[in-house]
A and B are shown apart, each in its own frame.
Chain A
Amino acid sequence: DQQVKQNSPSLSVQEGRISILNCDYTNSMFDYFLWYKKYPAEGPTFLISISSIKDKNEDGRFTVFLNKSAKHLSLHIVPSQPGDSAVYFCAASAGSGGSQGNLIFGKGTKLSVKP
């Protein structure tokens, strides 16, 4: 049973427009969420994170929104650039649990930004 779900396998956006990537989770014990970006044949790189005590975190063109009641988070990229084309993974951690620090990953969303 997937605890972290990214229901859109792919997303195509025009350069300069907003990209919105969505993630849903089922485990109410998750208290820390992260987004990673991954290019083919490379390791994921950390983008941005958010603690469950916040509902928004912003870093440059990237903003993550957390809606705890809906168990939903989203990553907004504004403006989107061709170099943003990659697979984006949502990950969650139940940090205070026994497996502290372990991340549960979604299956990823492939973002294509067209010039």
Chain B
Amino acid sequence: DGGITQSPKYLFRKEGQNVTLSCEQNLNHDAMYWYRQDPGQGLRLIYYSQIVNDFQKGDIAEGYSVSREKKESFPLTVTSAQKNPTAFYLCASSIVGTGNYEQYFGPGTRLTVT
């Protein structure tokens, strides 16, 4: 079964701690993305990667970091520098260069920082 997995579904952390959210895909997609969704808001792009060992900042990258050591994996670290980390985080992937810009999304991780 091809798809994107994000774990865990719910994550709780104390303020001041870094936390890493996992994202794995077996769709053989080159590009991967991290979004954040807040209530009443659309999806805002945090980071994206179109190829292994390369990634770019999105619109709201401050306080976040990523790595792309493998094609299948794109973990996101929410650092203590992120001022409002509590949110619903979504990972997505897509094919690159075909003219089809559809992104496939994982089920999301709800992060709560207290």
Contacts and interface: CB of A to CB of B under 8 A. Distances in A.
A42 B109 CA distance: 9
Interface string A1-24: 000101001000000000000000
Contacts of A49: 101-102
B-side interface size class: 20 to 34
Instruction: Classify the interface of chain B: helix, strand, loop or mixed.
Output: strand
Given A43-B107, A95-B101, A101-B96, 10 more contacts: A9-B40, A32-B99, A34-B101, A36-B105, A42-B108, A43-B92, A95-B99, A102-B48, A102-B58, A103-B103
Interface of B: 4, 6, 31, 33, 35, 40-45, 48, 50, 56, 58, 88, 90, 92, 94, 96-97, 99, 101-108, 110
Interface of A: 4, 6, 9, 32, 34, 36, 41-46, 49, 51, 89, 91, 93, 95, 99-103, 105-108
